[in-house]
Structure 1
Amino acid sequence: MKTLTDLYDALSAPATEVVESLARLDGDLMLLGVGGKLGPELALMARRALDKAGKDNRVIGVARNLDDETAARLRDGGVELAKADLMDGDQLAGLPSAPNVIYLAGRKFGTSGGEHQTWALNSYLPGLVAQRFRDARIVAFSTGNVYPLLPVTSGGADETVAPDPVGEYAQSCLGRERLFEHWSRTNGTPVAIARLNYAVELRYGVLLELARTVARGEPVDLRMGNVNVIWQGDVNAWTLRMLEHCSAPPFVLNLAGPETASVRWIAERFGELLGVPARFAGAEEPTALLSNAAKAHRLFGYPQVALGTLLEWTADWVRSDGATHGKATHFQQRDGRF
């Protein structure tokens, strides 16, 4: 993968199972918050899958602001765009109705010092959306951060583990889930909640951050010594397939890779690939933020892109000075402050 065009294509290419799933979809699909890191390629995958299935369902992407390049790429790919500030009640009410909705809006970075905005966007807004689209099928993104830190030998938190979020960001995300759950139970709205931990692609994510740290010769922080990672293209595919699993009360699913991956091992592998010895700071704690996605793997199969491939792709991208989003993941944070 050498260019952004290659990356866009890989992230939005629908597998056969996605095409088959969306072939069974009735009605249009609306993505709220399409301008984020996942949104554009998720919308384009949906459009490509529907086209392959011979379906003319509309794919509508809603965002407050989109840069010109992303807007043009979405339009060229057949995604219709609507501009709206979802926090504005009139603008939310003015959106077209759609029987299928994917909710992507939210706030993480900048929470510390702006907790009130995070709670408004992550908890208050989902309640408004759930009421506005009470007759739709909704897939809502959440995060594995709603789980407590668990022993690295535990296998990670599966969906039966009670949420115990650390910090106000994670607490507000649990609030998002509870608001969708409330209106699902009240109105009978079919909902699926996707607890994601952690999506990676070549411009952003845990692997890019670790590879760049190694390449610069800087020490890798080992406090959060183990992680889950999953290719964003697999996340996109599973998200679209979750539309068939919405229910009232909500269906909850962890989206994560199958490995409890050692940060030390990842850094050392990047050292081999980049020809730079990995350096380290601190030591691994006995607990980490880990998700068990066995349920998703049983439903959808293992991720199509394996961890070893992701490491090689990321190293190549860093070596060629590929484009990045310029944002750190802060996955090392153990106190929940972002």
Structure 2
Amino acid sequence: MLLTHDTLPDIIPDVASLDDLLCRPSQPLIDDLQKVDGDIMILGVAGKMGPTLAGLAKAALPQRRIIGVARFSDAGTEAWLKSRGIETIQCDLLDQAAIKSLPKAPNIVFMAGRKFGAEGDLSLTWAMNAHVPALVAQAFAKSRIVAFSTGCVYPFVPVNGKGASEAVPPDPPGEYAQSCVGRERMFEYFSRQFSTPGRLFRLNYAIDMRYGVLHDIATRILGGKPIDVSLGHVNFIWQGDASAQALRCLAHCDTPTSPINVSGHEILSVRDLAATIGARLGREPVIIGTEQPTAWLTDTSQAVKLFGLPLVDTGRLIAWTADWVARSMPSLGKPTKYEVRDGRY
């Protein structure tokens, strides 16, 4: 079954149903991927979003090789990928020789990186976020490369505007976000040197029932914990929509590579989100702090022009999340830390 507005469920009953929904392709995704020849290899596939993206690619292109590369410290992730027909390769991307030995797939989605715990070992953060991209960009100079980045590369922008567009120069606080600028610069440099087509996929806050901004807010409300609204505005996107847009970027690469902002098209108030979720859960949110006039927000006009609006809207995401959390369904236990303003993770 193809993913359309009409096929979206009212609730997501369990993890298996969630996985199936996340990996259900839309016709526009299939159409764009059919414009792109060759296998797809996903580097850093074992993170929160990688399995969804790999499963979605395989569902959209069942006859094509989809290859997932990671260290696979969690064997369950590798088994899950194999069960969906995705080939796996164990590889430490800090090992230059190991990168060179990987198949030369014509389509690369780069998802490797280090965020949480970044402040604990800043040299490793920079190695993962800037050195590894340089190695990959050289090893796959003849491929298309869609490289995951983050909206955190931007400075804070006014909450009463449209968010930062791709024309806003990166100037972020904190070494994590600075290392992400380093990641982009490495892909940009080698894209110019080798004429490698690509996109820099600046993603703001993907949402899955098991994690994300809405999950963080809902679990805090149920636990009676305070919600800090100092960083009082956010934008976010359903993980399935974000994965589809990343794959579709393979058909919309630039030479040299260029950035594209991906998130929800709405700028949303954390206070309002908490009130709406609290009403669904029958709990009054505990709000602390005062909204600041700036936040990390992106203008997704370019992505909307290319891909249209996300299939899953904010109202449905709120309904799904409140239902999921109310039933004490599984969580990844990985807070987004969306409220952090100093860039320290």
TM-score under structure 1 length normalisation: 0.97
Shift of 1:271: 0.8
Pairing partner for 1:80 from 84, 87, 97: 87
- Does the 8 A contact of 2:72 with 2:78 survive in 1? no
Q: Give 1:103's aligned residue.
A: 110
Q: Give 2:5's aligned residue.
A: none
Shift of 1:334: 0.6
Shift of 1:18: 0.7
Pairing partner for 1:45 from 31, 38, 56: 56
Shift of 1:141: 0.3
2:14 is the counterpart of 1:7 = no
Partner of 1:235, secondary structure, is helix
2:97 is the counterpart of 1:90 = yes
**1:159-170 superposed matches below 5 A:** 159-170=166-177
CA distance in 1, matches of 2:324, 2:315: 14
CA deviations on 1:242-274 (whole Å, 9 max, x unpaired) are 001112211210001011100000000011000
Pairing partner for 2:308 from 301, 304, 313: 301
- Does the 8 A contact of 1:245 with 1:251 survive in 2? no
Pairing partner for 1:272 from 279, 287, 290: 279
**1:19-30 superposed matches below 5 A:** 19-30=30-41
Q: Give 1:71's aligned residue.
A: 78
Shift of 1:317: 0.5
CA distance in 2, matches of 1:308, 1:83: 39
CA distance in 2, matches of 1:117, 1:186: 26
Shift of 1:41: 1.0
- Does the 8 A contact of 1:222 with 1:282 survive in 2? yes
CA distance in 1, matches of 2:214, 2:13: 17
Q: Give 1:253's aligned residue.
A: 260
Partner of 2:118, secondary structure, is coil
CA distance in 1, matches of 2:73, 2:59: 21
CA deviations on 1:90-125 (whole Å, 9 max, x unpaired) are 211111110000000000011113111100000011
- Does the 8 A contact of 1:12 with 1:41 survive in 2? yes
2:210 is the counterpart of 1:199 = no
CA distance in 2, matches of 1:66, 1:136: 27
**1:324-335 superposed matches below 5 A:** 324-335=331-342
Partner of 1:60, secondary structure, is strand
CA distance in 1, matches of 2:103, 2:236: 35
Shift of 1:23: 1.7
Q: Give 1:129's aligned residue.
A: 136
2:42 is the counterpart of 1:31 = yes
Partner of 2:317, secondary structure, is helix
CA distance in 1, matches of 2:88, 2:73: 10
CA distance in 2, matches of 1:253, 1:160: 10
Partner of 1:299, secondary structure, is helix
Shift of 1:67: 2.4
Pairing partner for 2:249 from 238, 242, 247: 242
- Does the 8 A contact of 1:146 with 1:163 survive in 2? yes
Partner letter of residue 35 of structure 2?
R
Q: Give 1:290's aligned residue.
A: 297
Count the aligned residue pairs: 334
Shift of 1:66: 4.6
Percentage identity across aligned positions? 48
Partner of 2:119, secondary structure, is coil
Partner letter of residue 82 of structure 2?
R
- Does the 8 A contact of 1:221 with 1:280 survive in 2? yes
Shift of 1:8: 0.3
Q: Which residues of structure 2 form unaligned runs of 5+?
A: 1-11
Partner of 1:112, secondary structure, is helix
Shift of 1:24: 2.0
Partner letter of residue 202 of structure 1?
M
**1:212-227 superposed matches below 5 A:** 212-227=219-234
Pairing partner for 2:29 from 4, 18, 26: 18
Q: Which residues of structure 1 form unaligned runs of 5+?
A: none
CA distance in 2, matches of 1:123, 1:193: 13
CA distance in 2, matches of 1:68, 1:107: 20
Q: Give 1:209's aligned residue.
A: 216
CA deviations on 1:39-69 (whole Å, 9 max, x unpaired) are 0010010000012xxxx22100001115233
Q: Give 1:178's aligned residue.
A: 185
Shift of 1:193: 0.6
CA deviations on 1:153-199 (whole Å, 9 max, x unpaired) are 12100111111111100000000000000000001011111000011
CA distance in 1, matches of 2:166, 2:97: 36
